[in-house]
Amino acid sequence: MSTKARANYESGLDKFNRVSNATNVAFHTVFILLAIVCLVPVLVVLSVSLSSEDSIRHTGYHIIPTALSGEAYHYIAEQGTMISRALGVSVLVTVVGTVLGILLTTSMGYVISRPNYKLKGLLTWIVFIPMVFNGGLVSSYYINSNLLGLKDTVWALILPLAVSSFNVIICKTFFRSTIPDGLIESAEIDGASQFRIFFNIILPISLPLIATIGLFLCFSYWNDWFQSMLYINNQDLYSLQALLNSLMSNVDALAKNASTMGISYATLVATMPKESARMAVAIVIVVPVAAAYPFFQKYFISGLTVGAVKG
């Protein structure tokens, strides 16, 4: 093909990649509206957490507080010792679980992405089946509590969430579509073992994937309270979300039974923040993740796009 013909061919293809100004404005308008729809609930939650209980009872929820009050955050701060301990548990579980989950997920995804691995088909089905069928809560509880003995241990908060079939499939697709076979074959010719190839070659060039899987795992561990409800009876091992959920349940229980208590205690319960404390709990949980997300955003978009679209 001549240079002129190639130029005409490429210019002909450009029309499929061009977007008119009207379409561009429409896209921007839609995305701005979607951003507002996502932002407004967060602003309402923040406003309610900074509002007094009286204003909430009389005027309801507003984006701008009608009567500013820090009683909800003061109530949470009064539980300082428990909150600090639960925060430590959440940070420990999130960090250890994320690191362990990344190692397990990427290693399994790498193994089943290799075309010359004999058990690739079997392991792929083993990974795929749990995405369609679930063993159920009773079986998982029996295995984790009785067979593995994880009840009332921090591992009960880590191991059940460490590996996800969806994440393994993303890793498999990323490795298969991004890592050239020639790179691995040349390393094998040089005498590198599979562990060395994986840790010294594959992982360093897979930072977008690692950031994506790490973000998924971090969200799962940080927001989880269900594992604590199932496997943890010792309150010293409560995660932050489980503890705050317990605090809110106690506030509701005290409020419902205030009439049966002594007059001073009933007065105390009546002045406790309820709706504002509930929203303050949501803010305390959301802020760390919201602060960390911008640092992962670039890798998250790149890794998710490559892992989910190609192949």
| Separation of alpha carbons 198 and 203, rounded Å | 6
| Separation of alpha carbons 59 and 66, rounded Å | 8
User: In this predicted model, what pLDDT tens digit does every residue of 38-75 receive, in sequence order?
Assistant: 888 888 888 888 888 777 777 777 788 888 888 888 87
Q: Tokens 């430590």, residue?
A: 88
Confidence (pLDDT) at 99: 94
Phi/psi for 51 (5° steps) reads: -100, 155
Confidence (pLDDT) at 104: 93
Positive or negative: CA dihedral 58, 59, 62, 64:
negative
Confidence (pLDDT) at 278: 75
Confidence (pLDDT) at 93: 93
Confidence (pLDDT) at 95: 92
Q: Which two three-digit tokens encode residue 310? A: 């190609």
Confidence (pLDDT) at 311: 41
Confidence (pLDDT) at 16: 54
276 close to 283: Cβ distance less than 8 angstroms: no
Positive or negative: CA dihedral 92, 170, 113, 198:
negative
Using a 10 angstrom Cβ sphere, with 0-12 exposed, 13-18 middle and 19 or more buried, the burial of residue 54 is: exposed
What DSSP letter does each residue of 269-303 carry, written as one string? HHHS-SHHHHHHHHHHHHHHHHHHHHHHHHHHHHH
- Radius of gyration, CA atoms only, the chain: 26
Confidence (pLDDT) at 98: 93
Alpha carbon 182 to chain centroid, angstroms:
35
DSSP class of residue 261 equals S
Residues of the chain with pLDDT under 50: 9-10, 258, 260-261, 263, 265, 307-311
Confidence (pLDDT) at 10: 47
Alpha carbon 201 to chain centroid, angstroms:
27
Confidence (pLDDT) at 106: 92
Confidence (pLDDT) at 186: 86
pTM surpassing 0.85? no
Confidence (pLDDT) at 33: 93
Confidence (pLDDT) at 34: 92
Count the Cβ atoms, other than its own, within 10 Å of residue 74: 12
